[in-house]
Structure 1
Amino acid sequence: MVDKQVVSPVAAPAVPQPGRWVVLAAKVAALTALPSGIWRIVMGAGIPVGFDTTGLDVPGWFTLVCIAMSVVTEALAMLTLGLVRPWGEVMPAWIPLIGGKRVAPLAAVVPAGLGAVVLMVLTIPRAGGFGGAVGAPTGLPLVVMNVCYAPLLLWGPLLAVVTVAYHRRRRV
């Protein structure tokens, strides 16, 4: 009979838990894309929101584009939660080849940091809204659209804060 040797994985160093305020910041960041996504889907579905959709295939292909943009944007926003959840420190076991392995801190910090910078570059200069753009709504519909897009201004700075906190926690 052959004696099987049990090999235990090397224990990763203990990582402190994120503070409550960091978890809250990550949750808020994950939700910042939701209002604009809903607005975009409503527009794509052909419901009048004040935006001129003349010449666009509404409802049709443009609807699918609006839905896809909204889903991808929200999925990217939800990745912020990985900076405060266990799956941001150890890959989930169901992922082939890398499941159960420790996430290298820079593998999360670099894309999250770049994402935060890109988000701020894309959103902050446009903080005044889309008033005056060709086909843009005016009056109350413009106010509604700007209110739906305003939370995106928080996504970049919140992602930056959560990323710095993740880096500080994971520094060994």
Structure 2
Amino acid sequence: MADTAVEEPDSLRAPKNSEDPAPRRRWWHRWPDWSGRLVVVWSVLYGLAGLYWALGGDGYPFAEAVEDRSSSSILEPSSAAVVAPVMAVFGAVGAVAGTLMVRGRGTGRTRRALLAFGWTAGGLLTFLIPDYSLLGLLVFSPVLLVFVFTGVPGPQDLGDILYWHRINLIIVFVGGLLWIATTLAYQRRTGGSCVRCGRGDRAAASWTDPAAALRWSRWAVWTAVISTLPYDITRIAWYFGWPLGITDEFLKDMQDTPNMLEMGLALGVVSTLGSLLMHGLIARWGEVWPRWVWFKRGRPVHPATAVVPASVVAVVLIPAGLMAIRDFDPHMWGTLGPSVFWAVWGVALGVATFGYHLRRRGGCAHCGRG
């Protein structure tokens, strides 16, 4: 007797694709997961380094150093006997706090304490402790990449540019970014919001509406543009022989140093070009590729194309500007005075970038809101 196939009724069938795995997301979409784990690892390793230096180990990165191997960090110069134990304790507390955040633990006062620690740690490590080195490395990164293969012209080598005190500040800066990401994810996760987009069940605030975001983004962009002018004007003036904000002797020294004024002029031009590019955050050509980008014209600009580089520039400008405030000399205001406005530029650029993100983000693939 032939077997007879009996078809299950629809009510007993499993929903179509019910067992299909969720779509595989790229690693940067999973930042709420890996940032917390990395911040725990960072805290443990940096805390152990602090303990090593507290016990008299070599290589303390905030010790007084010769001028060409030092940094302008707020912690330099400082005594290892004073600062290193604090670093060790900070690392231990950070490892515990990071673990609790990753696991989503804490309510009430505990949650508020974790958030306060996380945001404070992120702010100190990202904006206050570093100096202008990160901005310099970003600006000269194409040249440094070439130097990796060709070597540095003259008697210097890459070790004279990327020495330990600077490398340490990069490590500190990365730790700060990890703390900011971890704390943001924890705040959203424990606050009932989508961990990736930040939306919740409540109606969105009116200032996040695309039309409102465009209005305040315009103010932010123009604030950023104006904040670049002091640096651009002084460097152009020096190139043409006007000692604006400096002494005649200092200008003469720069004129006698090969390529010094040309480098200052180039940095001023880069700053000006950067201010022009910022208009893309509020202009149509920042959303649809314009005709002068012939190989992409008419296509939508992916939001990350603008958000990622603008965010990177914003976060490295702020510590450079804060460093200029600490080292400002009113008698030579032209050297660091214009750089003070980098902090304003960074904040304004960050605000404008956030506004661009709000206008372009669309619906969330994780929670479906939007």
Structure 1-normalised TM-score?
A: 0.74
| Aligned residue number for residue 171 of structure 1 | 361
Q: Which residue of 2 aligns with 1:159?
A: 349
Aligned residues of 1:92 and 1:99 also touching (Cα < 8 A):
yes
Larger Rg: 2
The aligned length equals: 150
Q: Determine helix, strand or coil for the equivalent of 1:94.
A: coil
1:67 to 255, 260, 265: 265
**Residues 35 and 55 of structure 1: CA distance in aligned 2, closer, same or farther (over 3 Å):** closer
User: For residues 299 and 254 of structure 2, what CA distance do their matches in structure 1 show?
Assistant: 46
Indicate the structure whose relative CO is greater, using CA pairs within 8 Å and at least 6 residues apart.
Answer: 1
Aligned residues of 1:44 and 1:59 also touching (Cα < 8 A): no
Structure 1 counterpart of 2:242, from 47, 68, 71:
47
The corresponding residue for 2:220 is 25
CA offsets, 1:105-133, max 9 Å, x none? 111111111111111132223222443xx
1:145–1:102: structure 2 CA closer, same or farther, 3 Å change rule?
same
| Structure 1 residue 57, shift from structure 2 partner | 3.0
Instruction: Look up the equivalent residue of 1:37 and give its one-letter code.
Output: D
| Match of residue 283, structure 2, among 76, 85, 102 | 85
The letter of the residue matching 1:148 is P
TM-score by length of 2: 0.37
Secondary structure at the counterpart of residue 125 of structure 1: helix
Retained in 2: the 8 A contact 1:40–1:70?
yes
Identity of aligned residues (%): 31
- Equivalence for 1:38: 233
Q: How many angstroms does 1:144 deviate by?
A: 5.6
Structure 1 residues 56 and 125 mapped into 2: Cα distance closer, same or farther (>3 Å)? closer
Give RMSD over aligned pairs.
2.5
User: What is the CA-CA distance between 1:143 and the residue it aligns to?
Assistant: 4.2
Deviation at 1:164, TM superposition (A): 0.8
Aligned pairs for 1:3-22 (under 5 A) are 16-17=210-211, 18-22=213-217
Q: Is the 8 A contact 1:32 1:77 kept in 2?
A: no
Structure 1 SS opposite 2:255: coil
Q: Distance in 1 between matches of 2:253 and 2:316?
A: 31
1:84-122 CA-partner distances (Å, limit 9, x unpaired): 111110110221211111000111111111111111132
Counterpart residue number, 1:115: 313
After TM superposition, the structure 1 = structure 2 runs for residues 140-151 of structure 1, keeping only pairs within 5 Å, are 142-143=332-333, 147-151=337-341
| Cα distance, 1:148 vs structure 2 | 3.4
> Partners in 2 of 1:147 and 1:65 — Cα distance?
18
Matched to 2:303, the amino acid is P
CA distance in 1, matches of 2:320, 2:267: 15
Query: Residue 328 of structure 2 contacts residue 337 of structure 2 at CA under 8 Å; is this kept in 1?
Result: no
> CA contact under 8 A between 1:91 and 1:99: conserved in structure 2?
yes
Q: Which amino acid aligns with 2:263?
A: V
Q: Which runs of 5+ in 1 are unaligned?
A: 1-14, 132-137
CA deviation string 1:56-102 (max 9, x = no partner):
33698433322211011111122221111111101102212111110
- Aligned mates of 2:235, 2:335 — CA distance in 1: 9
Paired with 2:327 and 2:237, the residues of 1 have a C-alpha distance of: 18
Bigger share in helix: 2
User: Which stretches in structure 2 are left out of the alignment for 5+ residues?
Assistant: 1-208, 363-370
